[in-house]
Amino acid sequence: MSLTNKQTASHCCFCSMQCGLTLQPSGGSPGLTVKPSPDFPVATGLLCQKGLNALDHVLHPERITAPLFRTDWLKLPFRPSEEGLRETAAGKEASAAAFPSARSAGAAWSSAPWDIALKDIASRIQALQAQYGNDAVAVYGGGSLTNEVCYLLGKFTRVALRSRYVDYNGRYCMSSAAAASNQAFGLDRGMTMPLSEIPNAKYIILAGTNIAECQPTMMPYLLAAKKNGAKIVTIDPRNTMTSKMADIHVRLQPGFDSVFMNGLLHVIITEQLVAKSFVDERTTGFDQLVEAVMPFTPARVEELTGVLEGVVRTIARGFAKAETGMVLTARGLEQQVNGVENTLNYINLALLTGKIGRRGCGYGAVTGQANGQGGREHGLKADQLPGYRLIEDPAAREHVAKVWGIDPGELPGKGVSAYELLKKVDEGEIKALLVLGSNPIVSSPNSRMVERALQKLELLVVVDMFETETAKYAHWLLPGSSFLEGEGTLTNLEGRVFHRGQALEPPGQAKLDYRFICELAEELGRGQYFQYETIEDVFNELALASAGGKADYSGISYDRLKREKGLFWPCPSPEHAGTPLLFEERFHHPNGKARLFGITPKMPAEPIDTDYPYVLTTGRIPNHYLSGAQTRRTEGLNRKSPEPVAEIHPWLAGKIGLGVGDKIRLTSRRDSLVFQVKVTEGIQPRTVFVPFHWGGEMSVNRLTVDALDPTSRMPEFKICAVQVERVHG
């Protein structure tokens, strides 16, 4: 595969750092190599091991290169004739070329030309909607798609399908932090400050985030802060690569975040360490906060959590007295039924001490997915329109409808969250589903339900590069484009919008994602609303639709992004420089003030008991990403981590009589699975950790509980009651 001559610079497709990379010709196979780019002002000229191997899955021989359909299913009304199949070089021989693993796996796939695929899919959608209504068809997107594709998927659902049901896997990543930021600040942008401010912080609290393994190229910022004298505290049930560089590590059992935080806030209030002028002038809700934290003395927190009273006081005093400081959170405390309240309590800490809206200070939710931020800003969430507008706000509907050229009354109402959407499939309300850039069978909780639900669909269309676990149940599997093939913009964890050019041409008949969406809209009779010559035209419409919204991109253009190496939103005019540091003068609530919240800690959805006495928590490891669809096909990464390994404490190993070579069986109220095991002192004794990057019998999400946070609708991935048993080696 050769370069397009359009672009040799790109960005890694994996985490939210979106590090810059450069493609260079090389002498060996495949003729290209990946190097870190020194130009992008985020990753300090570095790439992690996933970035250095990012080319492997793009050039993988198992890539889908032509539209595929189930030969044992497709009958009406546009089934390709035998002559048509011969003319398009399809049939068994072409299927093997388009999908090399089809024969060996025994999959009943055959290939067809794009025009037949689009006509058949559109015909089936129209038939289902005629019988069951517009909402019988749903769309499920992904947090790694570009802003343009996210925008188009949201528009496609509401304008071409006229359905309310659209959501995306970012619901599993950032929704609790997003909801908390909106409640506290009136605005959700993952980080309220750029990464370049981290070295200016004198006290940094990292809660439920393992940056060294999940965002490795962010570590130089933290190490620079340490070099400048900063104290770093990590809060995690495991000793991680991140905690190794911390001054204090709090090994907190999952579910006790707000108990611990109330202890810190109690000390700050009772010892009069509050930033009084900031709290008086720029916040509301202080009295409610005081009332909530008063019962949580450091002594009581020690009793409830095991964290020593002296540690609670040391952290509280250190953070409050530091001249500058930051609080960074991630999924560890957010992926719980109390995730929004947990996050609000950490935001309380930043607000109570006045550490926000100025240099070296801020709150940040460390986004996991490549474009988890941009996806929710421009219409992939069930209740939102472009610009972070709410779909049930009449003014928002009027603005966006005008940009789209439709009557506001044509826009459907809000839908439901990602997991609830899949439940509606299981319940029979949704009959057809289009999945683009996601693998929900692996990434969703209680995934046996998801597996069962997808088999009930009358039409499942998956657009992907590979036959993922989800695609195995598809009626149509369509070849999508990789990150090196699709031009567009993304928004990283800082809120920095940047341009990613096209470096390679899609292989075979693979189609750019935005072209597929527009062409399917045409087949559905709504093509007049999707007339774009280039992907830049899509962005220009996105910017117009976002104008005046919270996430205002209207002053951003491709020319500016290429010239300025990215811009921070909000950027409301071409003359505006962007907003790297939020909330310097006011917050985004109408009165300009942030809101403090008094949090009363609540129980998890599934507390441990005598039948299920241990806590299972899930997470990521350095060698893999999300559902593993790409990294498990990357030889260098998969060789290091070919299967999930459960981590348990020596106390628990002794309790179950674990021997050399033994495995363990984890049993929840939903399923039972066997895992390889690692015994380590670096985990909370009653907690078991298992990474979630695998499918099938290695998928830990077959065990996890599907309870949702009442506000964010985030599943409780981090707390699941389990039994633990020895399996003889």
What's the pLDDT tens digit per position in 245-304? 999 999 999 999 999 999 999 999 999 999 999 999 999 999 999 999 999 999 999 999
Q: CA–CA separation, 588 vs 182, rounded Å? A: 9
The residue type found at 348 is N
45: left (phi over 0), alpha (psi -120 to 50) or beta: left
The H or E element containing residue 676 is strand 672-679
Q: Would you state the pLDDT for residue 82? A: 44
pLDDT of residue 102: 35
Query: Which pLDDT does position 81 carry in this prediction?
Result: 41
pLDDT of residue 71: 82
pLDDT tens for each residue of 408-431: 999 999 999 999 999 999 999 999
pLDDT at 26: 79
Q: In Å, what is the CA distance from 281 to each residue of 186, 354, 536, 593, 595?
A: 17, 11, 43, 8, 12
% pLDDT > 70, the chain: 94
Q: How far apart are CA 449 and CA 447, in angstroms?
A: 5
pLDDT at 524: 98
Residue the block writes with tokens 């072209």: 515
The phi and psi torsions of 351 (rounded to 5 degrees) equal: -70, -45
10 Å CB burial of residue 679 (0-12, 13-18, 19+) is middle
What is the C-alpha to C-alpha distance for residues 139 and 168, in angstroms, rounded to an integer? Answer: 8
pLDDT at 239 over 80: yes
Distances (CA, A) of 428 to 21, 128, 137, 473, 551: 45, 12, 11, 16, 35
Judged against a pLDDT cut of 90, whether residue 65 lies above it is answered with yes
Q: Report the pLDDT value the prediction gives residue 86, as an integer from 0 to 100.
A: 36
Backbone angles phi, psi at 531, to 5 degrees: -95, 100
- Residue 279's SS3 state is helix
Given this model, what pLDDT does residue 39 score?
84
| CB 320, CB 268: distance < 8 Å | yes
Q: Is the pLDDT of residue 148 over 80?
A: yes
Least confident range from 80-84, 265-269, 403-407: namely 80-84
Per-residue pLDDT band for 241 (boundaries 50, 70, 90) equals very high
Q: What SS3 class is residue 224?
A: helix
> Average pLDDT of 211-238?
97
Average pLDDT over residues 138-147: 96
CA distance 474 to 470: 7
In order of start, what are the domains of the chain with their CATH numbers? 9-58 (no CATH), 68-172+371-531 (3.40.50.740), 175-365 (3.40.228.10), 614-727 (2.40.40.20)
Residue 244, number of CB atoms within 10 A of its CB: 11
The candidate with the shortest Cα–Cα distance to 627, out of 395, 470, 408, is: 470
Phi, psi for 556 (deg, rounded to 5): -100, 140
Residue 97 · residue 133 · CB < 8 Å: no
**Token pair for 562:** 């290429």
Question: Sign (positive/negative) of CA torsion 123, 129, 134, 135?
Answer: negative
